Amino acid sequence: MELIATKVCKKGDIGVHDNLFGGLMLCWIDEAALSMATSVCHTPNMVTLKINEVLFKSPVKVNNQIKIYGSVESVGNTSITLAIEARRFSVYTHEETIVCSTKIVFVRIDDDGRAIPISKSKKAKIMESIES
């Protein structure tokens, strides 16, 4: 998996129980994953189609650093599926603990918002990188 974003949990990010608000984590994950999907597919025109089950495995507190990692799980004709992990990073030990994981599907769209194929050459490169 490659590092695709780093976030810091601030006071305003907290929900009840002094934990990071889960909806904000979803926003961070979606944004980071979109950035990866558009970069890998060489187009800015992609939308989130599906976010699979999201498991909030351990809490995030104020001042925690969160590193978001992604990898390409599969690529289809118009869609790409990424595996995403958010990990709490200790600046003291550099230890990383998974706080949240999911899979997200993005679809390439045209100017009218309809699904269109990911470029064949980009798809071939993506397949190559998955297999290696």
Residues within the interface to ligand COA (CB under 6 A)? 47-50, 76-79, 105, 107, 109, 113, 115
Which residues neighbour 57 within 8 Å (Cβ) at sequence distance 6 or greater?
98, 99, 100, 101
Supply the DSSP string of 65-123, one letter for each residue: EEEEEEEEEEE-SSEEEEEEEEEEE-TTT--EEEEEEEEEEEEEB-TTS-B-PPPHHHH
Cβ closer to ligand COA: 15 or 76?
76
Quickly count: other Cβ atoms within 10 Å of residue 24's Cβ.
17
Q: How far is the CB of 57 from ligand COA (least distance, A)?
A: 23
Q: Which is nearer to ligand COA, 10 or 50 (CB)?
A: 50
- Closer Cβ to ligand COA, 100 or 107, answer by number: 107
Q: Which one, 67 or 123, has the nearer CB to ligand COA?
A: 123
CB of 79 to ligand COA, least distance (A): 3
Considering the complex, what minimum distance in angstroms separates the CB of residue 15 from ligand COA? 21
Q: Among all residues, whose Cβ is closest to ligand COA?
A: 76
Closest CA to 101 of 131, 126, 71: 71
- Work out how close the CB of 115 gets to ligand COA at its nearest, in angstroms, rounded to a whole number: 4
Q: Mapping DSSP to helix (H, G, I), strand (E, B) and coil, where does residue 27 land?
A: helix
